[in-house]
Amino acid sequence: MQKEENKEFTLSILTENKSGLLNRITIIFTRRKINIEAINVSETEVHGVSRFTIVVRSTHEKAVKVVKQIRKIIEVLGAFLYEEDEVHYQEIALYKLPTKMLTSSNQIENLVRSSGARVLTVGEEYTIIEKTGHSHEILSLLEQLKPFDVQEFIKSGRIAISKSKRQTVSFLEEMEALSLVS
Amino acid sequence: METATEISKPEKINQFEGTEISGAQAIILSLINEGVDTVFGYPGGAIMPVYDALYDFQDTFKHYLVRHEQGAVHAAQGYARVSGKPGVCLATSGPGATNLITGIADAQIDSTPVVCITGQVFAPLLGTDAFQETDVVGISMPVTKWNYQITDASEIPEVIAKAFYIAKSGRPGPVLIDITKDAQVSKFIYEYKKCINIRSYQPKPVIKPKEVLAAASLINEAKKPYIVFGQGVIIADAQKELLSFAEKAQIPAASTLLGLSAFPPDHPLYVGYLGMHGNYGPNIKTNECDVLIAVGMRFDDRVTGDLTRYAKQAKVIHIEIDEAEIDKNVKTDVSIHADAKEALQALTEHIKPNMHAEWLQEFRECEKIEYEKITKKEKFPESGQIKMAEVVEQLSSITDGNAVIVTDVGQHQMVTSRYYQFKSRRSNITSGGLGTMGFALPAAIGARLGEDDREVIAIIGDGGIQMSIQELGTIFQYNIPVKIVILNNNFLGMVRQWQQLFFAKRYSSTEMTNPDFIKIAEGYSIKGKKVTEREDLRGSLEAMMEHNGPYLMEVEVEKEENVFPMIPTGESVSNILLG
């Protein structure tokens, strides 16, 4: 059997906002020894409904099986698997640099402008630069900033919105109707 | 007791509706509201308020005190598997709760509806390493269909209603509710409402006619169609539907381990039992059929052997209620994501009457080969020590295949599955997926209490019985009339068989020096007998069955007997060994 290659997948999971769900979802990955590259949880536009966005590298087959297992969790309203071209997505990163590096030359300022980043705050000791974008853009800026003594760097998980026309509210109505079939 | 027995059950619970009661009382009332009249459990500090509340309901509600919490959950499983209703067990926090885990995992993998209620330390003590505190919600998460911790008494009715709804609907499974002691003692206004839906949970998939038509057309074209069915048929109560389906197009049908008792074993279309120690024909014909129709089964590795050499020539149809099982192990050509009963009804309507006499004959030829090479020698040996198969054969004939048979795990389990004729509904209770030794004795207790008037026989190995032998105490205390047959070879037989075949006979830690089982039974006032001679066997088994009350029989069987046929691990079903 030929081996399927690992690819990056975005899982978008709609759930009730209940405690313990994060654990229930992540153990599905742990059990199959799939590493989670990034994870984000936040409330959606519908009160009481949360969205998990999880990025994994996996084969398509494995990813599909994991999504099916996630759908079985009682409080999961829906789980969707997307490849890169099926979602709009962003990440956000913060870089902390000594302020004196900024003032000593205009190289940093140029980097900030050319990469579409922005300066979040300038303090006496340090300056915070903020950049949103895709992972590789954020990491490329990090590499470029490294010579200027990056003291701390942090990057968020991915947030993603699918290109499908489905609306959360109408999806929830569908779910409600299906749950009454008996 | 002040609560008069003449008050009927509904009145008795109704009188509490809208009144202020404790969380512990609410737990009992909620269970009664769910139709529960039998629970298995073991008290301890954090569940004491519930046991106190139980004291007032002894006339409507029977609690069986087991000897170990694992016994409680296995008994609940046995109860559920026989009755089809959720089994219920109670345990205290900490070790009480952790002792349930094996049974919960067993119920999860074998789709058994079980509701476990555990006591928990006072809510303010959560996370402080308090006495007998353990994170049972965390521990049980991977092995429950759903679990929840209650810290507020007012949540009790709704959560229990939800627990029962989840446990028994869709693909059934175990749920666990952990209830802090303060929630058990605090008071609130009790009101009970059954759970009818959960918007994030669709237990019953809507059957898609397109899938049914696609499956029907494959079946109508098939020359060598073949049904393999599992416990899904029993859970969906689709035994009749399966039979009509098979009969209409005359399709041979084989059972998985947990599917046994879903199809009449003496029916001309029944061809036997699948899997590692299953029948010859059912296994090898999997790789010769042209359409494989899997109903309510999950292509467990013990059934499929090497997946890359499993039914590759066949179009595969999978009828399954759990979408995650579809294409999990075996790629399907057509799947029907639905309840087995509905799917089989719909499918039967759309298939054409047909005959497959020659194809069926091929199975009969395999049966002859298996009979000559294995079955005859096993069931009817003329000399040497007693064989496990002949004990099972005798039991099957004495009971006419109508008893509920509870087995543990290992050689005796495989032999029983091969040689008992499961004629009566829901009569095969065994630990399938998890393979839990120690399951049978407590599960037999639950099975006996699950439905009145059913004869229950537990067939157990000498290893397995000692994993839960303390439950003889429960049998004794409540005089539960189960029959226990220990097939004693003084070995952990299945492991020894593997050591013989695959580890150069290096019998590492498999030989057992066993106690006098009959004396142990005697200690519990359970009548018993040890049988060592073939000529004593039949009469002794008959006497056991005629005995009114529990009975333990030990049969000394051949020490180094192997179970054949066998598909070695990682092998193809085609390469099944006949000895």
Q: Report B:320-349 residues touching A (Cβ under 8 A).
A: 322-324, 327-328
- A75 CB neighbours in chain B (<8 A) are 200
Nearest CA in chain B to A67: B324
Q: CA B222 → CA B212, B241, B318, distances in Å?
A: 15, 20, 15
> Known catalytic residue: B494?
yes
| CA separation, residue B335 to residues B14, B173, B239, B248, B332 (Å) | 46, 22, 20, 21, 6
A122 found inside a domain: yes
pLDDT of residue A180: 87
Same domain, A73 and A14: yes
User: Which residues does chain B have with pLDDT short of 70?
Assistant: 1-12
C-alpha dihedral sign at B92, B96, B97, B100 = negative
| A123-162 residues touching B, CB cutoff 8 A | none
Assembly ipTM? 0.94
Nearest to B166 among A16, A20, A74 (CB): A74
Range(s) of the domain holding residue A36: 7-82
Residue A71 and residue A119 in one domain:
no
B267: Cβ–Cβ under 8 A, 6 or more apart, which residues?
B243
Residue A179 counted as domain residue: no
pLDDT, mean of residues A8-35: 95
The pLDDT of residue B507 is 97
Is the CB of residue A178 less than 8 Å away from at least one CB of chain B?
A: yes
Structure tokens that stand for B261 in this block? 């008792």
| Residue B567, burial from CB neighbour count under 10 angstroms (0-12, 13-18, 19+) | buried
For residue A120, the tally of other CB atoms under 10 A from its CB is 13
The pLDDT value recorded for residue A181 is 79
- Side-chain-side CA neighbours of residue B216 (13 Å): 19
Q: Residue A111 sits in a domain of what CATH number?
A: 3.30.70.1150
Q: Is residue A35, in this structure, part of any structural domain at all? A: yes
Average pLDDT, chain A: 94
The pLDDT value given to residue B8: 52
What is the amino acid identity at position B344? L
Residue A165: pLDDT over 90: no
Six-digit token string for B121: 């330390």
Q: Where in chain B are the domains? A: 9-189, 209-363, 385-557
Point out the catalytic residue in the list B9, B48, B122, B132: B132
C-alpha to C-alpha distances, B448 to B8, B104, B169, B394, B486, nearest whole angstrom: 25, 20, 24, 21, 18
CATH number for the domain that contains residue A62:
3.30.70.260
The last residue of a domain, from among A38, A56, A82: A82
Catalytic residue among B69, B320, B362, B390: B69
Do both A66 and A113 map to the same domain?
no
Please check whether the two domains, B9-189 and B385-557, share a CATH topology. Answer: yes
Q: Are A23 and B198 an interchain contact pair (Cβ–Cβ within 8 Å)?
A: no
The reply to whether A73 and A94 lie within a common domain is no
Cβ-nearest to B200 among A1, A16, A65: A16
Q: In chain A, what residues touch B308 (CB-CB under 8 Å)?
A: 1
A68 and A111 both lie in a single domain: no
Query: Judging by beta carbons within 10 Å of its beta carbon (0-12, 13-18, 19+), is residue B127 exposed, middle or buried?
Result: exposed
| pLDDT at residue B453, as a whole number | 87
Is B142 in contact with A27 (Cβ distance < 8 A)? yes
Report the pLDDT value the prediction gives residue B5, as an integer from 0 to 100.
Answer: 44
Residues A66 and A11 in one domain: yes
Same structural domain, A15 and A60: yes
Q: Could you tell me if residue B251 is left (phi over 0), alpha (psi between -120 and 50 degrees) or otherwise beta? A: beta
Q: Which run of H or E residues covers position B389?
A: helix B388-399
Question: DSSP of B392-444, one letter per residue?
Answer: HHHHHHHHTT-SEEEE-SSHHHHHHHHH----STT-EEE--SS--TT-HHHHH
Out of B141, B145, B200, name the one closest to residue A76 (CB): B200
Tell me whether residue A171 is in a domain: no
- Give contacts of A 58-87 with B, CB under 8 A: 64-65, 68-69, 71-72, 74-77
Chain centroid offset of residue B225 CA = 28
B555, B544 Cβ separation under 8 angstroms: no
Do residue A25 and residue A46 come from a single domain? yes
Residue B229, helix vs strand vs coil: strand
Burial environment of residue B352 by CB neighbours within 10 A (0 to 12, 13 to 18, 19 or more): exposed
Is A24 part of any domain? yes
Q: Mark yes or no for CB contact B203/A182 under 8 Å.
A: yes
Amino acid at site B470: Q
Q: Same domain for A99 and A41?
A: no
Which CATH code is given to the segment(s) B9-189?
Answer: 3.40.50.970
Both A73 and A109 in one domain: the answer is: no
Options 3.40.50.300, 3.40.309.10, 3.40.47.10, 3.40.50.970; which CATH number does B385-557 get?
3.40.50.970
What sections of B423-533 are H helices per DSSP?
440-450, 462-465, 472-478, 493-502, 517-523
Q: State whether residue B197 sits within 8 Å of chain A by CB.
A: yes
Q: Both A47 and A96 in a single domain?
A: no
Q: How many domains are there within chain A?
A: 2
Give chain B positions within 8 Å (CB) of A15.
Answer: 200
Q: What is the reported pLDDT for B11?
A: 66
Q: Are B481 and B490 spatial neighbours (Cβ–Cβ below 8 Å)? A: no
Q: Identify which of A15, A71, A181 has the shortest CB distance to residue B206.
A: A181
Residue B111 is predicted with a pLDDT of 98
The topology (CATH level 3) of B209-363 is Rossmann fold (3.40.50)
pLDDT at residue B4 in the model: 42
Q: Are residues A37 and A102 in the same domain?
A: no
Q: Any idea what the Cα angle at residue B487 is, between residues B482 and B491, rounded to 5°?
A: 135
